[in-house]
Each structure stands twice: as structure tokens, then as C-alpha cells.
Amino acid sequence: MERLNRLSLKASLFLLMAFAVTGASVLAILVQNLCSSGIYRIMRKYTLVHSDTLYVAREELSGKDELLIHLLRWTSSVFPILAFGLFIFMAARKYYSMKLKRPIALLIEGAERISRQNLDFRLSYDQRDEMNEAVEAFERMRREMAAVYTKMWRTAEERKRLNAAFAHDLRTPVTTLKGYHDFLIEYGSSRRLAPEKISKVLHSMSASIDRIEQYIEGMSSIGRLEDIRVHKNDIPPAKLEEAVGETMRALVPQDRLRYRVNVSIQQPTVRVDDKLFLRVAENLISNAVRHASEEIGIECRVAEGKLVLTVRDDGPGFSDEGLSMAQRPFYHDPSTVKGQAGIGLYICEVLCEKHGGSLSVANAENGGASITAAFSI
């Protein structure tokens, strides 16, 4: 039976049916022979053998013997049908219990758990047949569904956190605008305010409006991240180095800052989405420009199956709070420059994760910030 368990569904069914047909045929032949033998013994009582010629001694059989002969003939005719039906039924039942019952039960149980929104389980079936492939396919589907649901849950939680952060940061400029509005309503019509004071109030109101627009644009940018798709191409390292160099020349004010670029990639090509890579690089370089004192450094290398981009500056670096909060949307490190929406590092982290990588922040040993973006290749 152990060998039968290792056979495919088709081979198992064929073998069991062959056993059933063989067994039914042998039993049917045996019963037919027994019936024929019984009929012969009954008829011998009514025959007389003389020389080589068979003579019937009496023409009529007794009612009991006649009924018995009819019964034996009926059994000889009907029993093969019953035997084949019984053996095929037994073979089918054995086939179901050996090859189908357990995997079908596993699939039903898995489907019921999924219907109850429970994906925290694992299906396994140890036979090497087609049902094992079906169970493995179901298990792959469960894992994919679990990953999708986990991603959806994280997205929902992230959306809640984004909305909370947006509402919190929006409250300050809105409160400021409301205060200036009430101030102007109360004192503006009385002509007791000097033009300089009114100009200062309007300038502050304009700054608050700009801040609100900045937050709105930030939320819009975050919303568009969900539509980004990764398209990897084989990119020569020289092309990456040229693109990073052009970005540095465009973003770094060379009258104030120095920069250096080090691309140390030995492979002839790296499989990466170069547009997504450069978008992350632009964000990190812009972030470094705002905080650097004299110099910015960029290093690009391949490590552990990932393209690693590290951007360093010689600015104040991250505070202890900033090291753990810098990648959160709309976060402003108290020790760094203000005036930005605070979503640049968050966008970089989302883009890196879409590319199968990650983003990490740290303080360099010699001072300043060090931000590392990794992209799966």
C-alpha cells in the first residue's frame, strides 16, 4: 500500500481497477463452476449412462430440484455482474480513502478558514501525486493572500497614521490663520493698525498659506506613490555614475559645498529601475544639501544582492529622536532646518520598499548624517 500511495492518481486508479476486475473475474468463474457442478449433480439423478450413450431415465424433475436448478442458473448469470459491481465499488472506496479523502479534507478545511478570514495556518500533504500539487497550489494561494492582506492592513494603518500626522501639522497654520483673521477683523477696520503691522500680518498669513499648500502637495505626492510600478533594466554602472554626477551638479551649490561621488560596481550591468533609483538619489541629495556645512559624499556599490546608495553630509546629523522618527511623514527634527514638508525620507523609504529594498538613517562616525538606500537587483 505504501508503494501505491507514491503512485500518481491515474496509475493508482488503473492499478486498483485492474485488481478489482481480476478479483471479480476469478470469483465469477469460481461461482459459475460451482453452479455448473451443482446442476450436473442434480441432473445425474435423472440420467442413466449406458455404454457411451446418455439416456434420460425419467422425463420430469422434482419441483425442489427444478427450483434449485433455476436458482443455480440465475446465480451463474447474475453473480458476475454483482461481483464486478462489488469489487469496483470496493476499489473506488479504497481509492478515495487512500488518494482523495485527506487532501480534499485539507482543502475544505483551508477554504473554511479563509472564509472566516483566518490565514494564519499552513497546509501540507506528504504524498507525491497530483493532489499534492493541488494542496501546494492552495498553500501558495494562501501565502499570497496573507501577504496581500498584510500589505492592505499595513497600508490602512499607514494611511491612518498619515492622516493623523497631516491633521496634526495642518492644525498649526490653520490656527495661525484664524488668529490673524480674527485680529484683522477686530482691529483692521478701526484704522488703529500701522501699515507696517498690517503688512507683517499679511506676510505671516501668506507663510501659513504656503505651509498649507506644502502639506497638501505632500499628501498628493504620497497618494501617487501607490501607482508607481517598478520596471527593472540592465544598466551599466558608468551610466549610473554619469546620472548621479549630473544630479549632484544640478542640486549642489558649488560655491558653498564640495561633493564627491564614488561608484564601485564590478559587474558589467546592474538590474535596477534607474528612474526610481535617481528619484531616491535626488531626494537624498536635496536633503543633504539643506543640512551640509561644507561637503557631501555619495557612495554606490553592490552588496548582498542589492544596489546600495549611501549619501553623507557633514551637517549636525540626526538627534536621538530623529534617528527613530526621520522616516515618518511630516516629521521635523527639532535640531535641523525647518521649512520643508517632511516627507522626503518617507517617499524614499516607500520607493526602496517597492524595489525590494530598504532605507536606513544613521549618524556618521565623524559627524553628520548618513542615509543608506538599498534596491534589490
Q: Which pLDDT tens digit goes with each residue over 115-145?
A: 888 888 888 888 778 888 888 899 999 989 8
Q: Average of pLDDT values for 333-351?
A: 70
* Cβ-contact 315, 372 below 8 angstroms: no
The pLDDT of residue 85 is above 90: yes
Q: What are phi and psi of 2, to 5 degrees?
A: -60, -40
Chain segment 353-366, per-residue pLDDT in tens: 889 899 999 998 88
SS3 65: helix
Q: Which of 122-126, 213-217, 304-308 has the highest mean pLDDT?
A: 304-308
Instruction: Tell me the DSSP string of 105-170.
Output: HHHHHHHHHHHTT-----------SHHHHHHHHHHHHHHHHHHHHHHHHHHHHHHHHHHHHHHHHH
Burial 66-81 (b: 16+ CB within 10 A, else e): eeebeebeebbeebbe
The pLDDT of residue 59 is above 60: no
Query: For the ranges 169-178, 199-208, 226-235, 368-377, which has the lowest average pLDDT?
Result: 169-178
Q: Where are the domains of the chain?
A: 2-118, 157-225, 233-376
The structural architecture, per CATH, of the domain 157-225 is Orthogonal Bundle (1.10)
Q: Which residue has the higher pLDDT, 173 or 141?
A: 141
The pLDDT of residue 55 is above 60: no
Task: Measure the CA angle with vertex 28, ends 26 and 30; round to 5°.
Answer: 70
Q: Average of pLDDT values for 90-119?
A: 88
| pTM, rounded to two decimals | 0.53
Calpha distance 173→338 (Å, rounded): 14
Chain segment 222-276, per-residue pLDDT in tens: 667 767 788 889 989 888 888 888 888 888 888 888 888 888 888 898 999 988 8
Q: Which of 169-173, 188-192, 237-241 has the highest mean pLDDT?
A: 237-241
Average pLDDT, the chain: 82
Given CATH 1.10.260.40, say whether it is the number of domain 233-376. no
Closest CA to 142 of 129, 157, 124: 124
